[in-house]
Amino acid sequence: MTDDLLRWRSEFPTLEKTVHLISHSLGAMPRRAREALTQYADEWEDRSIRAWQEGWWEMPRTVGNLIARIIGAGAGEVVMMQNVSIANWIVTSCFDFSGRRNKIVSESLNFPTNLYQYHALAGTGARLVTVDSEDGLTIPLEKLLDAIDEETALVSVSHVLFRSSFKQDLAAITNKAHRVGAMVCADIYQSAGTVPVDVRVSGVDFATGGSVKWLCGGPGAGYLYVRRDLWPQLKPKATGWMAHEHPFEFKTGPIEYADDIFRFMHGTPNVPGMYAAKPGYETILEAGVERIREKSLRQTRRLMELACEAGYAVRTPMNNDERGGTVTLDVPDGRRVTDALLQRDVLVDFRPGSGIRIAPHFYTKDDELEIVIREIRGLLERGR
Ligand SMILES: Cc1ncc(COP(=O)(O)O)c(C=O)c1O
């Protein structure tokens, strides 16, 4: 069987050095990222202060436009941030939790950053309601929908859960939230780049994500999408001079928010981070998320079959519609096995309560799936 996506392998020299099955945690580095960082250094040295006018200032938007194409947003609707933690903090700062509509509905398997922030908001009147998982893998949709009511201000969910790779139904969640007057913030970090995301189709109000994983963009390039028609009514309390309508007037006094996506900015952006991230986005766009997804479903299924044949418990949904790009295996002594795999240049990771996380991406060869299972089996047999 020919695998057309493998032609991008040569763009990722790191793939020849290891068995890279860790794209849920750190995507492979594109060859062009090094060139982009050199370009950044050249501009810094050669153009000095003029570099801001020649592109740096606009980068949170121009680079955000690449993300917009990956997640179904329009041009100018995504702004780059340093990470999800900052993006989510800006989102929550748009809300007033002092009234009756003060509930934040989330899930117990959401990424900890999001939950830490909601707990920290308790002093502002926010009431956090987390929907529990019954099996440690999935979140029951009906229970989540039932928790969303007229007192809910914000619903915060991960599109794909980082622990189990369970994929949630964003459209159903948004539908219910909007029916009762609540807004939805989706953390799409574990989906964008491997699972098709369309913020317009799902209707979410906010989406946050980053580039370290499936987008192969490295650290320091998070992003925030905000539904355009909501901009005029949203006034983030977490703000800064770059969110001002006229930042170079350096006015003191209360902020006058920009009327575009920059109203969600704060201070100086991570320019080198955005340079490094661009080649990853461009590659994902060239390869196409639909094709990446098709391959991911095939390879994750194959991994699960191999794991089942070897007698390991799979802690990831079997159903294609409910699965993101990662397969989690619960094997005895998972942490020790993971450490030993890393020493053998087989890159995976371990999450307590779930197991060994393994992620093929568009550049993964089929034999690498056989290798990881063979290595796990060997390590477990030798450890007996
Ligand atoms: C779903 C999800 N959200 C957020 C993060 C990270 O947040 P931040 O960008 O603030 O480091 C991760 C992974 O590290 C994640 O898997």
For the chain, give the percent of residues with pLDDT over 70: 99
Which of 22, 106, 111 maximizes ligand 1 atoms within 8 Å of its Cβ, making it the mutation to test the pocket? Answer: 111
CA 337, distance to chain mean position in Å, is: 26
Q: How confident is the model at residue 382 (pLDDT cuts 50, 70, 90)?
A: confident
Distance CA 251, CA 37 (A): 34
Mean pLDDT along residues 116-133:
97
Mean pLDDT of the chain: 97
Could you tell me the distance, in angstroms and rounded to a whole number, from the CA of residue 293 to the centre of ligand 1?
21
Distance CA 14, CA 10 (A): 9
Which of 158, 189, 195, 223 maximizes ligand 1 atoms within 8 Å of its Cβ, making it the mutation to test the pocket? Answer: 189
CATH architecture of residue range(s) 33-285: 3-Layer(aba) Sandwich (3.40)
Helix 271-287 / helix 289-309 crossing angle, nearest 10 deg: 80
Could you tell me the distance, in angstroms and rounded to a whole number, from the CA of residue 32 to the centre of ligand 1?
24
* 171-219 per-position pLDDT tens digit: 999 999 999 999 999 999 999 999 999 999 999 999 999 999 999 999 9
Which of 113, 208, 354 maximizes ligand 1 atoms within 8 Å of its Cβ, making it the mutation to test the pocket? Answer: 113
Q: How confident is the model at residue 117 (pLDDT cuts 50, 70, 90)?
A: very high
Could you tell me the distance, in angstroms and rounded to a whole number, from the CA of residue 114 to the centre of ligand 1?
9
* 339-365 per-position pLDDT tens digit: 999 999 999 999 988 899 999 999 999
Fold category of 289-383 in CATH: Aspartate Aminotransferase, domain 1 (3.90.1150)
Instruction: Give yes or no for a contact between 20 and 347, defined as CB atoms under 8 angstroms apart.
Output: yes
33-285 and 289-383: identical CATH topology: no
Q: How high is the pLDDT of residue 1?
A: 66
Q: How high is the pLDDT of residue 384?
A: 58
191 Cβ closer than 6 Å to some ligand 1 atom: no
**Closest protein CA for atom 7 of ligand 1:** 84
Distance CA 147, CA 186 (A): 16
Residue 2 predicted with pLDDT over 90: no
Distance CA 236, CA 93 (A): 5
23 Cβ closer than 6 Å to some ligand 1 atom: no
Domain boundaries, the chain: 33-285, 289-383
Residue 333 predicted with pLDDT over 70: yes
Which of 24, 114, 162, 357 maximizes ligand 1 atoms within 8 Å of its Cβ, making it the mutation to test the pocket? Answer: 162
106 Cβ closer than 6 Å to some ligand 1 atom: no
190 Cβ closer than 6 Å to some ligand 1 atom: yes
